[in-house]
Chains A and B, each alone.
Chain A
């Protein structure tokens, strides 16, 4: 289906939904639909990213396939989300190359080669480095340069995507966003308020908890990394840190959260009704979960083996996974939280305005 056809199909389905409104008690998306009579392409992108894919609606819908109306919001919104990532991402031209599982694998291989070459050139010791001395494999300066550049790439990619999306989903009559809208959106996001799940699909209700595992696990790992940087640069305490240190503890808890969360979500995916998913979105979600899982697993493996002679290769592999995750981040499912959070901010703002006007 072309972009134009997808938009037309989206508007057709939304017109049916807005004439029915039986789903209005389910989640934010339905209220956002009801607040409008006509739909712009950007409205569809807004609804799609507001949708948390819990699927309550499609199993409640009397007009879902095989009904001739063919209403299938989860599949529609998944396809529209994919389209919105492609549309708003920067830099756009690479989107096709780096999305999905293969994009990630190529990035991993590239990073592996890059790190090995750098290590060789800078006379690091991939093999034979011992005692958890990571910087004898790749020097601190090299790591800072590579990951600094990747962070810049990621922030620019996400930031520009976010700006384009935000500009698009707002209209001339949109009110100014207030701090309380942002706080409300943060509350929605941190609690995954709209990721309820449905009893009509096995394990669906576990998704929220697995997602919490992934998200908070990632946050803990990020905190661990920041803390390590602080210890290294400010306190001049070099890695390896003891297992009982906050850096390692945070890393372990976060890593386990990621591992359990990703594995759980992958398992849930196996049981979903494939009629309710968009195949592209399904594959890209799966690829992202695998990439996160590999980062977490290789990180924990590195911790386990850091005092042995294979530390060097494991470090290179782990860093390659991390680098590939960041490098593909603007194009992978990773960026979904940006669009979803912005959609939630927009929703919080609309919700406040409609409450004020008494609708």
Chain B
């Protein structure tokens, strides 16, 4: 016989949105069980790799400079959204973000002083002291203090939904099946970027060459269960956010250290030894947001950033040492590329470089003329040995596909109407605001805001 337990609110998932929901439900007098699929060390999903919240504020605060108005915040969102954005939900998240720092501090989250290293975001973003895992530790410490039950190694296997009412969940906990009956449920179990076979449905064999920057536990099974139960989907199943990462990164969970930002300082060639995009088009973060997708569409889903010794110390150090050679041809051979083709690409590029003043902090006037694709800024000849190269792959950060929610975080049904007692938050509802694009710190902000709304709503239903 299956063991059975009951609670007011069941929270599926263990990251930022899930814990915001759990703590918020608990503060509204509900008994809460959190089921986290990962073991304790890996708890928190992708939240353990995060670093900052994007916060609206009308006046300077202890941790943030100047002001960041709701309109400016919304404009920033619109800029990356590419015309597809749920304005109502976006405005709600932006407006509620202002209260987050105080609430998070109450949960034990600490903040970093604005520093030079925080990517020049001290006006718009707040950085957790110690990053995402430190934040998750604080969340869990507070949850334990409030006697929220936390189950690790506990995976949702099935949900029992009758009409628009959630009844119970079947959970496999350390290999044993347990049924949890709950008055309300919050789903906040992340995306599906670690589910390679799911990615393969949309990307074919290319999926095998992607690097998953975050947790291996984001398998999307919860999204799958909800969609099967009649939830309305949101976001394109092929859509993900990917950045250029070092090609030698581990398949899963390499996190922030696999990022590589050498692209604007040289050229990038594909397996055929050819350039394929303007390396000097724009600054971080736009550059950061597009290069993963660009590489995902190249043969073998791999590319090579080639620079010379003039610029080797101009970007954040990489965790993997660059490949070094005394000539471009030697470098190409070490990379397993056609040496004469790469040499030709470099020569053509070098010949097209115009004189200018190299200023890595600005959109400078160093550009190429007469080469396709052009390089519009930071174009310097690659001529000073030794030459360096980094292999690049597409590192998937998160996915957009999920379930539609209303402004009260209730799961919407494909046939119209909403679930009565089922709510959703976090990465699995990210597509409700942004279907593409990326705005640093917005994911955590939306996760915590919607998570709090969902947790409070669930507690009210339970009462």
Contacts and interface: CB of A to CB of B under 8 A. Distances in A.
Given A24-B117, A25-B127, A61 B133 contact: yes
B1 to A, nearest CB: 35
Interface in A11-25: 15-16, 18-25
B256 A20 contact: yes
A37 B313 contact: yes
B313 A59 contact: no
A67 interface: yes
B15 to A, nearest CB: 13
Nearest to B49: A62
B116 A20 contact: no
Given A25-B129, A56-B130, A67 B319 contact: no
Contacts of A15: 317, 319
Contacts of A200: 137
A187 interface: no
A56 B127 CA distance: 16
Contacts of B404: none
Interface string A132-158: 000000000000000000000000000
A68 interface: yes
Interface string A48-74: 000000001101111110111100000
Given A16-B257, A200-B137, A23 B131 contact: yes
Nearest to B254: A69
B255 A26 contact: no
Interface in B315-339: 316-319
B137 A16 contact: no
Contacts of B108: 199
Contact of A62 (B113, B133, B316, B317): B133
Interface in B117-142: 117, 127, 129-134, 137-138, 141
Contacts of B256: 19-20, 22
A60 B256 CA distance: 14
A96 interface: no
A145 to B, nearest CB: 54
B115 interface: yes
Interface string A27-52: 00000001001000000000000000
B253 interface: yes
Contacts of B112: 24-25
A233 interface: no
Given A62-B255, A200-B137, A22 B317 contact: no
B130 A57 contact: yes
A60 B133 contact: yes
Contacts of A57: 130
Contacts of A68: 250
B367 interface: no
Nearest to A66: B41
Contacts of A167: none
A359 B116 contact: yes
Contacts of B137: 59-60, 199-200
Given A62-B48, A66-B41, A20 B257 contact: yes
B257 A19 contact: yes
A188 B255 CA distance: 33
B117 A34 contact: yes
B246 to A, nearest CB: 9
Contacts of A19: 256-257, 259, 316-319
B194 to A, nearest CB: 15
B275 interface: no
A62 B42 CA distance: 8
Contacts of A34: 117
A67 B115 contact: no
A16 B116 CA distance: 19
Given A19-B316, A25-B129, A60 B134 contact: yes
5 contacts: A22-B51, A22-B256, A59-B137, A60-B137, A199-B138
Interface of A: 15-16, 18-26, 34, 37, 56-57, 59-64, 66-69, 199-200, 359
Given A22-B51, A25-B113, 18 more contacts: A15-B317, A15-B319, A19-B317, A20-B255, A21-B117, A23-B131, A24-B115, A34-B117, A37-B317, A59-B133, A60-B134, A60-B137, A62-B48, A62-B133, A62-B253, A62-B255, A64-B41, A66-B41
User: What 3 A-B pairs have minimum CB-CB distances, sorted nearest first?
Assistant: A22-B131, A60-B130, A25-B112
